[in-house]
């Protein structure tokens, strides 16, 4: 695959509410440094800015970020603001709230419902915007029900600070709980060829039936997980399919993810311009039915 000539249009379009986005987006977490964004050496600033601008040049119009994506010297939101403002009219920036980090980088307690307005306003300030296109509530383990937290975000939506709402790290019951309060346009859960989960499979199905975008994160992490090398070769089945298509294992993982339904959006992140082009080009990789059967069998084996 000639990754340098393929744009995000190859993957097709879906909508977050009324906002059309390409099915290959960009996750901003890695712009700050390592996969864990609070560990390791901060990223090169000029390179991170170049990656963001290159993403837009390649047709990416969906960026996933958060105010808590920062390292000792880098803030993902600030980099996005500096690289892309004034923002293209079709660019959709999705943020998330729920986790809380001190400025020292240490994790604090999960945000209370009454603290979410401050988190939303911090995203607005860092991004230089007067409203957020979409905000995901990331469910934390310290609370089982999301009703109170999601209700607080729904109030901010009614106040005009947020256009659309989503949820993250949830089970099917949480989607129903949120929908009783306000419309949900996207669901974000960890999901990929490497990490099957029956509850997430059910969410994937429900979202497809209801036209809700399903946005998996860590979709191209290999067997070593999100903290290890991204898109590593992993199982020989993945490597064999990659060789057959002159593609990389990461591209195969992304292509498999996109084949899970037209409502599935991918948000691979990278601080490497070449990896960015490869990720975008994965939207043009057409796996055969035989490829999918082999990869699906591999996915099921890991359950």
Tens-binned pLDDT, residue by residue, of the chain (303 aa): 666 689 999 999 999 999 999 999 999 998 987 555 555 567 889 999 999 999 999 999 999 999 999 888 889 999 999 999 999 999 999 999 999 887 777 777 789 999 999 999 999 999 999 999 999 999 998 889 999 999 999 999 999 999 999 999 999 999 999 999 999 999 999 999 987 788 899 999 999 999 999 999 888 864 444 444 444 445 799 999 999 999 999 999 999 999 999 999 999 999 999 999 999 999 999 999 999 999 999 888 866
Tokens of 121: 């306003």
Per-residue exposure over 36-74, b if at least 16 CB sit within 10 Å of its own CB, e if not: ebbeeebbeeeebbebbebbbebbbbbbbbbbbbbbeeb
Answer for the pair 33, 39: CB distance below 8 angstroms, yes or no.
yes
pLDDT of residue 233: 46
pLDDT of residue 64: 98
Give kind and range of the element (H or E) at residue 168.
Answer: strand 162-168
Cα(77)–Cα(97) distance, integer angstroms: 13
pLDDT of residue 232: 46
Q: Which SS3 state, helix, strand or coil, does residue 20 take?
A: strand
Tokens of 122: 């911090």
Cα(133)–Cα(246) distance, integer angstroms: 37
Note if 69 is an active site residue: yes
For 33, list phi and psi in degrees, rounded to 5. 150, -120
Active-site residue, selected from the candidate residues 69, 87, 103, 191: 69
Would you give the DSSP letter of residue 215?
Answer: E
pLDDT of residue 226: 46
Answer for the pair 200, 168: CB distance below 8 angstroms, yes or no.
no
pLDDT of residue 40: 54
pLDDT of residue 107: 76
pLDDT of residue 225: 47
Answer for the pair 84, 118: CB distance below 8 angstroms, yes or no.
no
pLDDT of residue 197: 85
Instruction: Tell me the H-state helices in the chain.
Output: 45-57, 76-84, 116-127, 147-158, 172-179, 198-210, 236-244, 249-258, 273-281, 289-301
Tokens of 44: 């090169």
Tokens of 61: 């119009």
Tokens of 257: 């993810």
Q: Which SS3 state, helix, strand or coil, does residue 143 take?
A: coil
pLDDT of residue 1: 61
For 79, list phi and psi in degrees, rounded to 5. -65, -45
pLDDT of residue 234: 52
- Interstrand relation of 19-22 and 13-16 (parallel, antiparallel or unpaired): antiparallel
CATH topology assigned to domain 18-301: TIM Barrel (3.20.20)
Cα pseudo-dihedral 267, 273, 275, 278, rounded to 10: 80
């Amino acid at each position: 695959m000639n990754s340098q000539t393929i744009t995000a249009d190859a993957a097709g379009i879906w909508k977050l509410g009324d906002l059309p986005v390409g099915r290959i987006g960009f996750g901003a977490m890695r712009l700050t440094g390592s996969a864990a964004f609070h560990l390791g050496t901060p990223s090169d600033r000029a390179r991170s800015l170049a990656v963001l601008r290159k993403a837009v040049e390649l047709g990416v119009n969906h960026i996933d970020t958060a105010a808590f994506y920062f390292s000792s010297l880098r803030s993902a939101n600030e980099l996005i603001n500096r690289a892309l403002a004034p923002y293209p009219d079709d660019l959709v920036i999705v943020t998330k709230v729920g986790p809380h980090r001190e400025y020292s980088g240490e994790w604090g307690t999960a945000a209370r419902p009454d603290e979410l307005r401050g988190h939303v306003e911090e995203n607005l300030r860092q991004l230089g915007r007067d409203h957020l296109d979409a905000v995901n509530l990331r469910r934390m383990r310290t609370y089982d029900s999301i009703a109170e937290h999601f209700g607080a975000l729904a109030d901010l939506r009614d106040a005009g600070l947020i256009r659309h709402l989503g949820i993250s790290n949830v089970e099917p019951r949480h989607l129903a709980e949120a929908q009783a309060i306000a419309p949900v346009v996207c669901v974000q859960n960890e999901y990929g060829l490497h990490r099957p989960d029956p509850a997430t499979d059910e969410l994937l199905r429900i979202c497809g039936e209801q036209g809700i975008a399903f946005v998996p994160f860590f979709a191209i992490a290999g067997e070593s997980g999100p903290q290890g090398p991204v898109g590593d070769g992993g199982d020989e089945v993945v490597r064999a399919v990659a060789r057959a298509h002159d593609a990389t294992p990461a591209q195969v993982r992304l292509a498999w993810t996109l084949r899970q339904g037209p409502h599935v959006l991918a948000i691979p992140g990278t601080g490497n311009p070449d990896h960015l082009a490869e990720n975008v080009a994965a939207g043009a990789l057409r796996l055969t039915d035989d490829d999918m059967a082999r990869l699906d069998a591999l996915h099921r084996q890991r359950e």
